[in-house]
A and B are shown apart, each in its own frame.
Chain A
Amino acid sequence: MKLAALSERFYSLVSPDIPNEWDVEEVMEPFIEESDKVCEVILGHIPVIWPVSHSLCYDFLRQAPEALTHLSLEQLPRWAGVILDIYENEGLHSAQRFMQDVVKNHISKLEGSGGLALTSVEKRLLPYIRGIAREELQVVSARETYTDTATIYVPEELRLFQDNDKNFLLYKLIFTYQWGYIACGSFLHTAPEGLPLFSDKEDCLWLREFLNSFAHPPLARDIYHLLESIRVKFFLHKELPGLMRAVSKLLFPLHSPVATEGTAGVFLSRIQQGLTGDETTLHSLLRLHLTPSECQRYLDGKATAQDSARLVPKLYSTLEETDHDYIPVPPLPFQGHLKLKAVETARKVRKEKMGEHFVDLMATYLLSLSPEKLENILKDEERDSGNTGLAESDISMIMDSEFAQTAAQEKAAPLLVTINNEALELPPELDTFTRKFLDEFGQLPARFITSAAGKAGEGMLQGDIGGQEEDARQITGTVIYDEWDYRRQGYRKNWCSLQCKELPPVHSPFIRNTLDKYHGLTLRLRHQFEMMRSQERFVKRQREGDDIDFDALVESLSDTRAGLPSSDRLFIRLKRDERDIAVLFLVDMSNSTAGWVNIALKESLVLMTEAMEVLGDRYAIYGFSGMRRSRCELFHVKHLTEPYGEQVKERISSISPSEYTRMGPPIRHATRLLQEVDAKVRLIITLTDGKPEDYDDYKGDYAIEDTRHALLEAKVAGIHPFCITIDHQAHEYMEHMYGPANYIFVDNVRKLPLRMPEIYRALTS
């Protein structure tokens, strides 16, 4: 292909973005030599990668031709999938590194049989480790094993053993061991007694600074890591003896060959071997450099992370060699690496998250105070300073408990926060949460209190305008949803933003005209739907019941008198045949519905609502449209609990063609709304005309697959999705997208108002 043609192709694929011409030509240039087929396959990935990251997309294009010297065209999509995963989990840099070494990173993984993939054990081991850890740990595949305390990173695949049962056990051990470091408190963030403090910067991990303070940080790090690994070993022996018993039967071919050079290398690699062996070996090794009592603490499982930290300088000085550099001993698979920077970052993230939660709680609490008190807190803020925040000096957090004598008293004493000399005693929930925060992070940064005050201030203003809290359960505003990308077989995270809007009511004779037009039909529908209505009826002559059936009783008494056998069916029982159904109608408001379709849709809705009112099923109506993933729109016509009145009628009249049809987000939102509803049967009924499509890359297979996936999600949530689609003819994709028996297509739009109630009746009886 010519460069101009290639560039043009590129622009069309990333439209409406218009990237810099030089960049495009630079990456497209090498493709001039490639065959059309190769170009097509590689460029075909642009729509997937470009929206995720432009740089990643350029890099991909730079590397792909080279990669194809090792990969077959069929393998390329998988390669791209891995790249995207790495990018999302570890960032651009890691993804670039991965791409550069196709052979090492990918081919070896694709080749050969055997090996156990993380994806095949994750479903089992993720709940396992969360149960063991009793917290929501994440698991992510990575090239190196480590944990940042929030996530455990493990290899994408294990092929250490021939036998995959053993590989499974190794995975289990890796997960558990990594959790072990967290549970044993290996990641010290404050200095143990007797060791130097470093910077007192808020978020620095003390351990990191400590280990970096040695002349050869890797040696210090490995010493500490090994000591901690010993601790974890004994901890696991006590905590999870079953696992450790099973593991001891594994003949670990895990060891890297024992280092032969350098005292440090030899000693550390032998200790490492001891980790997979029995206690006596470890003991004799430790005895080489530790005192008997120090040794014993480790073997008894009494040692702490502080002990390990204190031992580092001692071991370091005996092991350090001046004549040659320490060559790090590669860790055992389950030990993984000590990545303290990652721990530091994860801790920061956690702190911010908890901080946000604190701000929410605190703001809510402030808003619950008497207006005078709140005014006082916030007024000072304005007077004091031109800027918005409180001066830090205005805030202090006093633990009342400082005056407490005993630990018990300290627990019982409430926490006090003082803002602008206004002392506030924290309510229980906030108190508990604050203590948790203090436990973990030592102190509560004043900025959290400042932002809580700010937020409360905003809240107060809104309250003045008079936002009444009508239905707290209604999700309004903007909601973010993931979108299914079938090419990756994974979600694009937080991809679509759905705005919930009101349809402006319009006065129009539409409803009345419709009712007139279908007068006969409405009457018939009413009658039909009345028959379906839930019934309460008395059933007579029951063996047991709420009341005596006097007719039966009299009969039975007379029978007895007459010497006949008498019946024991003498009761009346109230029987309920309840219809416990909630339906949500989702109406396509895309541009293509302009004209007859729109009118038919609305007419159908009018007839449906009439029928629904007779029937008594709960129902909601929403319209949807929008343009691009950044602005999907959902229009409220009728909430589930809202009565059918003028307003609803006016909003039905106001349903009109708007923009595009991105079906995933509205379906996901409908699912979410219905999930909160308690009903025996929950239905989403979608009314559309044709394929889902949006202005951006939401078209074709992509759109069909995302819609299909959104419908599957609804099913998983116990909701029945059903689609009514208006089209001239049935298409193949329909059955695939909706699932057989989950849709119906109506070819003559004028018939829709007739068909729809019929369909509903068939569906729910």
Chain B
Amino acid sequence: MKTIEQRLDEHLITVEPYYLASGNEVEIALSAHKNKLPLLLKGPTGCGKTRFMQYLAWKLRRPLITVSCHDDLSTSDLVGRYLIRSGEAVWIDGPLTLAVRAGAICYLDEIVEARKDTTVVIHPLADDRRELPVEKLGELLTAPPEFMISVSYNPGYQSVLKDLKPSTRQRFVAISFDYPHPDQEAMIVCKEGGVEKELADSLVKLAGMTRSLKESGLAEGASTRLLIQAGKLIQDGIDIQTACRVAVIEPLSDDPELLAALQEMVSSIF
């Protein structure tokens, strides 16, 4: 069985992740960490939230423990549970407990997807108590100063009802993410997708067009991530039109008319 140290080592980021800041988000996050404040990242999918957390963790030299939330996520999934190992009941820390013990950064991705009764366990951790009760062990853990909790959510998806509770929301320093400025986004696509500047510019232009189709039924346009993926395919020799279709257009919608319209954009740009 792995020791705690081994488990944590896997989460330590040793190579600087590429992150291009679009504002003062890095300073804010560093200051939040210094002041032991939790962080809330909001923004559309694939706009760099996860990457930002990786960068922050690297900068702070803390392990980053990420949990993707879903509606089956239970409190034990976060805090820990007993497992049977060679006939014995052994307690295994959940990611949150692990992070608290080690003073790591715990990142709960898409927090609204978790059930409300699950999210309440972070309440005492996210205010100035910074405590995590582990009921089954009868322990009350207090987070060391290096510990940080950070959550993300995408305001675009949720219906009015599936919103964060104010009592949850009002514990965080909130940083709003959006797609980077076109020039910056092109730089990111260049770097991550390995394509020429000119092609990156055109990909970013395409993304921009898809992002203004809310009224036409496209809730969210192409993310930076998709552009990077298209870039990688193109690098690999797939022709541009095909790469855009499979990596940018098709993932956005299943509606034939809308797909056709998006295809027209591609054929116009490239």
Contacts and interface: CB of A to CB of B under 8 A. Distances in A.
Interface residues of B, number: 35
B213 A242 contact: no
B268 A176 contact: yes
Contacts of B211: 134
Contact of B81 (A172, A546, A676): A546
A491 interface: no
A548 B257 contact: no
A130 B212 contact: yes
B19 interface: no
Given A130-B212, A678-B159, A124 B260 contact: yes
A243 interface: yes
A486 B74 CA distance: 52
A323 interface: no
A684 B81 CA distance: 44
A103 interface: no
Contact of B261 (A131, A473, A556, A574): A131
Interface in B174-213: 205, 208-213
A242 B266 contact: yes
Contact of A131 (B87, B160, B213): B213
Contacts of A553: 84, 89
A239 to B, nearest CB: 8
B234 interface: no
A678 B158 CA distance: 9
B257 A557 contact: no
A445 interface: no
B215 interface: yes
Question: Most chain-B CB neighbours within 10 Å: which of A127, A473, A676, A678?
Answer: A127
Contacts of A560: 87
A132 interface: yes
B255 to A, nearest CB: 9
Contacts of B164: none
A135 interface: yes
Interface in B62-81: 74-76, 81
B265 interface: yes
A125 B161 CA distance: 34
B82 interface: yes
A678 B205 CA distance: 35
A570 B84 CA distance: 8
A260 to B, nearest CB: 36
Contacts of A130: 212-213, 215-216
B159 A676 contact: yes
Given A134-B209, A134-B212, A557-B87, A125 B264 contact: yes
A548 B89 contact: yes
Contact of B209 (A131, A546, A547, A570): A131
Contacts of B34: none
B267 interface: yes
Contacts, number: 92
A546 B74 contact: yes
A86 B269 CA distance: 34
A649 to B, nearest CB: 27
A512 interface: no
Interface centre among A124, A126, A134 (most CB of B within 10 A): A124
A124 B261 CA distance: 5
Contact of B161 (A135, A172, A246, A678): A678
Contacts of B89: 548, 553
Contacts of B260: 123-124
Contacts of B76: 546-547
A678 B82 CA distance: 35
B18 interface: no
B143 interface: no
B227 to A, nearest CB: 15
A127 B258 contact: yes
B82 A132 contact: no
Which DSSP category, helix, strand, loop or mixed, fits chain A's interface? helix
B169 interface: no
B269 A127 contact: no
A240 interface: yes
A128 interface: yes
Contact of B216 (A127, A557, A570, A678): A127
Nearest to B81: A546
A172 B266 CA distance: 13
Interface in B224-270: 257-258, 260-262, 264-270
B165 interface: no
A242 B268 contact: yes
Interface in B29-57: none
B268 A126 contact: no
Contacts of A574: 74
Contacts of B212: 130-131, 133-135
Nearest to A573: B74
A136 interface: yes
Contacts of A557: 87
A241 interface: yes
Interface in A508-560: 546-548, 553, 556-557, 560
B59 interface: no
B260 to A, nearest CB: 4
A758 to B, nearest CB: 30
A622 B160 CA distance: 22
B162 interface: yes
A529 to B, nearest CB: 24
Given A242-B268, A676-B160, A678-B159, A127 B257 contact: yes
Nearest to A236: B268
B76 to A, nearest CB: 5
B216 A126 contact: yes
A563 to B, nearest CB: 13
Name the residue in B208, B216, B264, B269 with the highest tally of chain A Cβ atoms < 10 Å from its Cβ: B264
A369 interface: no
Contacts of A126: 216, 261
Interface string A135-179: 110000000000000000000000000000000000010001000
Nearest to B215: A136
Contacts of A134: 208-209, 211-212
A475 interface: no
Nearest to A574: B74
A677 interface: yes
Give the one of B76, B261, B262 with max A CB within 10 A: B261
Interface string B84-126: 1001010000000000000000000000000000000000000
A242 B267 contact: yes
A676 B160 CA distance: 7
A570 B89 CA distance: 10
Given A131-B210, A176-B268, 19 more contacts: A123-B257, A125-B261, A127-B213, A127-B258, A130-B216, A131-B209, A131-B265, A134-B209, A172-B268, A242-B267, A242-B269, A473-B160, A546-B75, A546-B76, A548-B82, A548-B84, A568-B84, A678-B160, A678-B161
25 contacts: A123-B261, A124-B261, A125-B261, A127-B218, A131-B209, A131-B212, A131-B213, A132-B265, A135-B212, A172-B268, A239-B205, A241-B269, A241-B270, A243-B269, A473-B160, A546-B75, A547-B76, A548-B82, A548-B89, A553-B84, A556-B87, A570-B84, A678-B159, A678-B160, A678-B162
Enumerate the 8 nearest inter-chain pairs by beta-carbon distance, A residue then B residue, closest first.
Answer: A127-B261, A131-B209, A243-B268, A678-B161, A127-B216, A134-B212, A240-B268, A128-B261
Interface of A: 123-128, 130-136, 172, 176, 239-243, 246, 473, 546-548, 553, 556-557, 560, 566, 568, 570, 574, 676-678
Interface of B: 74-76, 81-82, 84, 87, 89, 159-162, 205, 208-213, 215-218, 257-258, 260-262, 264-270
